[in-house]
Amino acid sequence: MPTSDKSISTYSALWRATAPISLNAFALPAPELAQFLLGTVIFHAETAGMIVETEAYLGADDLAAHSSRGHTDRTKVIFGPAGHAYVYLIYGMYECLNVVADVAGTPGCVLIRALEPIAGLPMMYQRRRWLGPPKGLANGPGKLTRALAITRGHYGCRLDKGPLSIRHWRNKPDFKIAITPRIGISQCTDWPLRFIFDGHPCLSRPL
C-alpha cells in the first residue's frame, strides 16, 4: 500500500509523486469515471488520501441519484461540465464529495466513499477526533470529507487544480477492481455501481 512507503508520507513528497489530471479526462460516463478515480489521490488543506471506493450515480432513470429530481439549485453542477465538485449534506451533519462526470447537459457523478489516508494524518486525527487505527480515518463518505476539511463551500470547484485537487500517481499502483451493488440507498439497490480497490483495508464495507 502507498502508506507503507514513508518517502511519500509528507504532503509535498506526495504531491511530487503524483501528476495533474486534465479537466477533459473527467468527462467519462459515471461508471467509467468511478473506476478511473480508484487509485487517484485527493489533496486538500495539507492532507491527502488515495481513493479506494467509489459509487456511480446516473441520470433521470437512476432513482437513487439526486439528478433524477431534475435540474435544481442543488443539482445544477451535476448538469454542468465534468471534473467539478458536487458536495451535499446528509442527515443534517455529514458532507459528501462527488465528482461530476460525463459531458455538460448529461447528468452523472461519482461519490467518493473511502480513502486510504497518506499525508497529514495528525491533522486528520484532530479533525475527526478519532482515536482508532488510521484505516478508520476516512473509510466513509462523511468521514473522509471531515478528515480532509472538505465542505459545501467547495461546491462547484474545479478538481484538476486549485486547493482541492485530484491527481494520479506517476507510478500507478497495481490492484484489482471489484464491483458490487451500491450501499446505503433505498432505490435501485441492485445496480452494480460500487467500485472498490479489492481487498483494501480502508473500505467502508468489505466484500
Q: Is the pLDDT of residue 84 over 70?
A: yes
What domains can be seen in the chain, in order of their start residue? 2-197 (3.10.300.10)
Q: Is the pLDDT of residue 113 over 80?
A: yes
Q: Is the pLDDT of residue 7 over 70?
A: no
**Residue 60 has what pLDDT?**
85
Report the share of the chain in percent with pLDDT over 70. 97
Instruction: Read off the DSSP letter of residue 207.
Output: -
**Residue 5 has what pLDDT?**
64
Q: For residue 43, what is its C-alpha cell?
A: 489533496
User: Given its phi and psi angles, is residue 107 left (phi above 0), alpha (psi -120 to 50 degrees) or beta?
Assistant: beta
The pLDDT tens digits for 90-106 are: 888 899 999 999 999 99
Classify 47 as helix, strand or coil: strand
Q: Note if the pTM is more than 0.85.
A: yes
